[in-house]
């Protein structure tokens, strides 16, 4: 006699098959690594990112996962993902670094935000990874930043790239702490600068220290290394109410339509195909 499955069992099977089907039908899989400690502004950004990216994934047919386990940065784990994101920090263990370099050398894709490019000797994150900071990113060490986090007018430097084609010539960013770098990226033939701070932004920052306010200069904020499928974006530092002791979030990185378009199109380009 044929066994009849109860409706609840059938529903459970259907749900499992649907989930498996949705994952297998995804255009590409994204894994985001983060640390989420120490700086409240970076923690705020990470929490916001881990709420925003799943929504974007659902509407753009890719899968998104995140982890604080940097030991997952190994060949077996990475083989399941077409795009890696560093939301805040970078890998520190030699084995993790070697696995990431091999992943990128063999056609993997990467999107890095704000603090993932930071390196300063001496600090908790010294410049002790030459391939990553000087060759891959090309920026070298961090030199200084603006303060407080403020919006900037960003200028599109390259309109031919998939990440920037839908952007106007200039647009206003979400508030951010902007970084200055040791190396001049314009002199690096491997680097393609996509966005920079437009001079109409100056003075940029409010201080109170005078050197935290920029009055002139050239500052790239989004770029790609043409030897890799990668993009670095300097955004990723929310404004926080430190002064009044509330630590309340005063800004959002993912609440700016044009900046969101940049990040979405960047990710879709990274996941579109292997190098």
pLDDT tens column, 60-102: 999 999 999 999 999 999 999 999 999 999 999 999 999 999 9
Q: Give the global pTM.
A: 0.90
When pLDDT is averaged across residues 14-32 and rounded to a whole number, the result is 62
**How many domains are there within the chain?**
1
Specify whether the CB–CB gap between 28 and 271 falls below 8 A.
Answer: yes
Q: Which tens digits make up the pLDDT trace of 263-274?
A: 999 999 999 965
Please compute the mean of the pLDDT values over residues 17-33 and round it to a whole number. 68
CATH of the domain at 54: 3.40.50.880
For residue 128, tell me if it sits in a domain: yes
DSSP letter at 133 equals I
5 within a domain of the structure (yes/no): no
pLDDT at 25: 63
Q: Is residue 9 part of a domain?
A: no
CA distance 25 to 35: 30
Q: For residue 20, tell me if it sits in a domain.
A: no
End-to-end CA distance of the chain: 55
- H helices of the chain, in order, are 7-24, 40-60, 75-78, 94-105, 130, 257-272
**Structure confidence at residue 140 as a pLDDT band (50, 70, 90):** very high
Lowest mean pLDDT across 33-37, 65-69, 239-243: 239-243
**Closest alpha carbon to 83 in 33, 132, 122, 42:** 33
Residue 234 domain boundaries: 26-272
176-223 pLDDT, tens digit per residue, is: 999 999 999 999 999 999 999 999 999 999 999 999 999 999 999 999
Q: Is residue 21 part of a domain?
A: no
Mean pLDDT confidence for 147-173: 97
**Given a cut of 60, is residue 12 above it in pLDDT?**
no
The CA distances from residue 62 to 116, 141, 181, in Å, are 23, 33, 33
Greatest alpha-carbon pair distance for the chain in Å reads 85
Residue 171 lies in a domain: yes
Task: Give the span between the Cα atoms of 168 and 170, in whole angstroms.
Answer: 5
Residue 17 lies in a domain: no
Q: What is the residue-averaged pLDDT of the chain?
A: 92
Calpha distance 31→221 (Å, rounded): 23
pLDDT for residue 125: 97
Residue 243: its pLDDT value, please? 87
Return the percentage of the chain with pLDDT > 90, whole number.
88
Q: In this structure, what are the phi and psi dihedrals at residue 71, rounded to the nearest 5 degrees?
A: -70, -15
């Amino acid at each position: 006699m044929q066994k009849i499955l109860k409706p609840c069992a059938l529903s459970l099977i259907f749900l499992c098959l649907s989930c498996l089907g949705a994952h297998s039908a995804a255009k590409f899989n994204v894994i985001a690594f983060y640390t989420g400690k120490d700086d409240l502004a970076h923690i705020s950004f990470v929490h916001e990112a881990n709420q925003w990216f799943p929504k974007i994934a659902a509407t753009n047919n890719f899968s998104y996962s995140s982890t604080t386990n940097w030991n997952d940065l190994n060949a077996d784990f990475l083989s399941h993902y077409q795009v890696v994101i560093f939301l805040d920090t970078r890998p520190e263990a030699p084995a993790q670094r070697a696995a990431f370099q091999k992943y990128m050398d063999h056609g993997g894709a990467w999107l890095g935000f704000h603090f993932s490019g930071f390196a300063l000797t001496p600090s908790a994150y010294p410049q002790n990874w030459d391939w990553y900071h000087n060759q891959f990113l090309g920026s070298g060490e961090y030199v200084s930043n603006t303060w407080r986090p403020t919006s900037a007018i960003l200028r599109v430097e390259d309109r031919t790239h998939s990440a920037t084609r839908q952007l106007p010539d200039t647009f206003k960013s979400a508030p951010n702490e902007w970084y200055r770098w040791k190396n001049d990226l314009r002199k690096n033939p491997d680097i393609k600068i996509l966005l920079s701070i437009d001079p109409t932004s100056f003075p940029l920052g409010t201080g109170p220290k005078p050197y935290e306010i920029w009055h002139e200069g050239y500052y790239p904020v989004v770029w790609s290394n043409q030897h890799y499928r990668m993009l670095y974006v300097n955004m990723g530092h929310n404004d926080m109410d430190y002064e009044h002791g509330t630590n309340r979030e005063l800004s959002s990185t993912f609440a700016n339509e044009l900046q969101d378009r940049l990040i979405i199109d960047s990710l879709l380009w990274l996941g579109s195909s292997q190098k």
